[in-house]
Amino acid sequence: MAPARVLFVDHAPARGGAENSLLLLLEYLERSRFTPELATQPGTLSDGARALGIVVHELPLQRLYGEPTAAWRLARGATALASIVRNRGISLLHCNTVRASVYAAAAAQLTRRPLVWHVRDILPRGLYTRALCAASTMVIAVSRAAAVPLPCAEKVRVVYNGVRAADFGIERRQPAAALRAAWGIPPDALLIGHVARLQPWKGQHDVVAVAARLARERPNVYFALIGGDIFADASAYERALRAAIAESGVAERIVLTGHQTDIPATLAALDVLVHASRNDPFPRILLEAAAAGLPIVAYGGGGVPEVLSHERTALLVPSEDRRALADALRRLIADPNLRRTLGAAARADISVRFDVRSLTRQIEQVLDHALA
């Protein structure tokens, strides 16, 4: 039997956590069973897929929400997708992001093909979730936290994002040293990093507030806010962050690095990872930091407790509790043995539970179910 041809749809021109997870899925999908193709906009996601040998269809999957021409944009994008489905003999559509799901659902209806909706957000119940649940043959949720609000439990399967732990080995230390030097971090400093694209819900402002306390107490502690405005929607937030850093009183020890493409080297440059996102459905950076053996302090909302275990593989604190976040970081700053213990336990746990190969096999089972 010939492999089923699957069209993956993602609107993003840049690569965030959802896109990096998709690229790993495309890489490890069993080619004897599935032939993946990708429909997306031009950018680093399409470049990454081509590097894997994936056929890429570049389409203008433009913004819909709040746009006066949304109906025309949707009709044009869905028609283009439907044309690809028919011309390429596509058997199944898989949508990877919220905007892409609207286009893909319309194309699936036009072509009478099954649709797998990959839910990577904690979504409120409303018209969108009801419509996508109705349009989807199967639904993949990246965590139980993302699955619970969906009004179609009978279609939902929870499959976590996977990680390739080998990407985060000791060979990344040399480029990491160059990064620390470029950021102006002294060789003997303890560097606490927060890695996320710039968005208010990602919590960079909480880290600045905590850094203002801890940097005064500990002269050898530095903070790096690692991430940029990759989707060109956070310029006002970036200005506010820069102002908060300038007013913190310790601006010389808080670095705003901008977007970094070499995440293994970036994580190797850190001594501790702090994660301050609010209600994050399944933070990919926690998988990667754990794979790198980093000790982690994180807000414990959303899907975070499904990734990390308090006091065993990380220190988790209540969401938006800056005092608790600072206290947990103090523990790690003062206790090198605890840092080593948590980092080693996290790496061992993540390498087994979130292995990309085994999780890709689970996604393939969902695709099979949808095709059947």
Taking every pair of C-alpha atoms in the chain, what is the biggest distance, in angstroms?
66
- Tokens 């303890």: give the residue: 190
Please tell me the predicted confidence (pLDDT) of residue 1. Answer: 81
Are residues 316 and 366 located together in one domain of the fold?
A: no
Are residues 127 and 181 located together in one domain of the fold?
A: no
Please tell me the predicted confidence (pLDDT) of residue 283. Answer: 96
DSSP 261: S
Whether 50 and 42 have beta carbons less than 8 Å apart is answered as no
Whether 148 and 133 have beta carbons less than 8 Å apart is answered as no
Distances (CA, A) of 235 to 15, 36, 256, 291: 18, 35, 14, 31
- CATH code for position 287: 3.40.50.2000
DSSP string, 112-147: T--EEEEE-S-PPSSHHHHHHHHH-SEEEESSHHHH
Please tell me the predicted confidence (pLDDT) of residue 75. Answer: 95
Global pTM reads 0.94
Please tell me the predicted confidence (pLDDT) of residue 277. Answer: 97
Give the count of beta carbons closer than 10 Å to the beta carbon of residue 323.
Answer: 11
Are residues 326 and 242 located together in one domain of the fold?
A: yes
Are residues 202 and 297 located together in one domain of the fold?
A: yes
Whether 207 and 221 have beta carbons less than 8 Å apart is answered as no
Are residues 109 and 250 located together in one domain of the fold?
A: no
Domain residue limits at 171: 165-353
Are residues 209 and 330 located together in one domain of the fold?
A: yes
Number of domains in the chain: 2
DSSP 231: T
Per DSSP, helices labelled H in the chain are 17-28, 44-51, 70-88, 98-111, 127-135, 144-147, 173-182, 204-217, 235-246, 263-268, 284-291, 304-307, 322-334, 336-353, 356-371
Please tell me the predicted confidence (pLDDT) of residue 191. Answer: 98
Q: Which helix (H) or strand (E) holds 54?
A: none
Are residues 152 and 204 located together in one domain of the fold?
A: no
Are residues 279 and 338 located together in one domain of the fold?
A: yes
Give the count of beta carbons closer than 10 Å to the beta carbon of residue 63.
Answer: 12
Are residues 82 and 205 located together in one domain of the fold?
A: no
Please tell me the predicted confidence (pLDDT) of residue 171. Answer: 58
Are residues 205 and 245 located together in one domain of the fold?
A: yes
Whether 140 and 120 have beta carbons less than 8 Å apart is answered as no
Sign of the Cα torsion 226, 230, 233, 235 reads: positive
Query: In whole angstroms, what is the distance from residue 122 CA to residue 260 CA?
Result: 26
- For the record, the structure tokens of 362 come out as 């689970």
Please tell me the predicted confidence (pLDDT) of residue 345. Answer: 98
Query: In whole angstroms, what is the distance from residue 342 CA to residue 49 CA?
Result: 34
Which regions in the chain score pLDDT beneath 70?
170-173
Are residues 158 and 73 located together in one domain of the fold?
A: yes
Are residues 217 and 325 located together in one domain of the fold?
A: yes
Query: In whole angstroms, what is the distance from residue 300 CA to residue 225 CA?
Result: 20
* SS3 of residue 367 by DSSP: helix
